[in-house]
Amino acid sequence: MKKTIHIIGLITLLSVFISCTSNTKTESETTIQNTDPLPSWNAGKVKTSIINYVDDVTNTESVNFIKIPDRIATFDNDGNMWSEQPAYFQLFFAIDRIKTLAQEHPEWKREQPFKAVLDDDMKELMKYGEHGLIQIVMATHAGNTTDEFEVIVRDWLATAKHPRFNRPYTDLVYQPMLELLDYLRANDFKTFIVSGGGIEFMRPWVEEVYGIPRDQVIGSSIKTEYDFNNGDPIIKRLAEIDFIDDKEGKPEGINKFIGRKPVFASGNSDGDLQMMRWAASNKLKSFMLYVHHTDSVREWAYDRKSHIGRLDKGLDEANKRGWTVIDMKEDWKIIYPFELIEK
């Protein structure tokens, strides 16, 4: 987390530097530069269609004008706001956590699926399927209090490094999406995360990294239990699934937590399709945005056949219904915030 703050600090400094050195430009050039709300997006039909939509629905003279309380924008997280390869980052967290907890669980050296994790044998781990993953999640995410779990997540983010980039996971957020969030908020949209990931895995860092308050994060959850605890109340995290915020769960979660249909929905996989359809059914003019992972060099390229973040039916439906699809390779000038500094 400190690294992230550090980088954001550097970006701020860099922005100041850029604005100070831009005095040599003509006034009109400066104006154009200053008014581009999406500087990390290449010019093209995706960028134009986003800006045209926002201009239209915030224009009180337009028939498509949307009142501020209805400006609800929902964003998937994994693969949409930050990378999700070579595996969901929350899975890396769970694996690291299994290794940390292994000292207290000598039986894991013999018991699957824990043995596979300790042996770094992902192929073996995958044999245990969804049930095996749930065992891993429950062993690593439950059995503590909400306060304890928050510290565990924060500590992990402060030290863990992504295997390819050797950087904190929170460095791998998408700079163009950060700009999109800022742009929508500047136009009085209320931005939400609607993710299949764990709600309490995300909350410790999304506020700092995305500028999205904790109460605007919707995710999958396990059951909890309030305990008076002799006057020092706690909330215990139980080894039982409460809600899966994926596929049909996304519109259900949006209805439960937000109570209003989004006008702007952004995702990257078939797991987001129901959320997209939900937004598309809004009587107000809505905008559906898919991220298509097409950049095998700067990020990863995957879609119809990927086990992680499969985009197949969603891509067909987006094409058929004219939803906007980001071609990551073509549409994004930079992917990660750290590229700004390295340039």
Half-sphere exposure of 76 (CA within 13 A, CB side): 29
Looking only at the bridges linking them, the beta strands covering 217-227 and 234-243 are antiparallel
Q: CA-to-CA distance for 261 and 274, rounded, in angstroms?
A: 12
- Tell me the site size for a second copy, rule CB under 8 A: 37
Q: Does 228 bind a second copy (CB under 8 A)?
A: yes
Tell whether residue 106 is a contact of a second copy (CB under 8 A).
no
Min dist CB 103 to a second copy, Å, is: 29
Instruction: For residues 198 and 343, give the distance between their C-alpha atoms in angstroms, rounded to a whole number.
Output: 34
34, two tokens: 């200053």
Residue 2: burial class (beta carbons within 10 Å; 0-12, 13-18, 19+) = exposed
CA atoms within 13 A on the CB side of 121: 12
190 binds a second copy (CB under 8 A): yes
Query: Considering only residues 197-226, where is the footprint of a second copy by CB under 8 A?
Result: 199-200, 203, 207, 213-217, 221, 224-226
Site for a second copy in 130-149 (CB under 8 A): 146
Residue 268 touches a second copy, criterion: CB under 8 A: no
Cβ at position 214, least distance to a second copy in Å: 4
Pick the closer one to a second copy by CB: 141 or 190: 190
Task: Provide the mask over 229-248, with x wherever binding to a second copy is found by CB under 8 A and - wherever it is not.
Answer: --xxx-x------------x
The 269-308 site mask, x for binding a second copy (CB under 8 A), equals -----x--xx--x---------------------------
Q: What is the 3-state secondary structure (H, E, C) of 72-140?
A: EEEECCECCCECCCCCCHHHHHHHHHHHHHHHHCHHHHCCCCHHHHHCCCHHHHHCCHHHHHHHHHHHH
Residues that bind a second copy (CB under 8 A): 69, 72, 146, 190, 192, 199-200, 203, 207, 213-217, 221, 224-226, 228, 231-233, 235, 248-249, 251-252, 255-260, 274, 277-278, 281
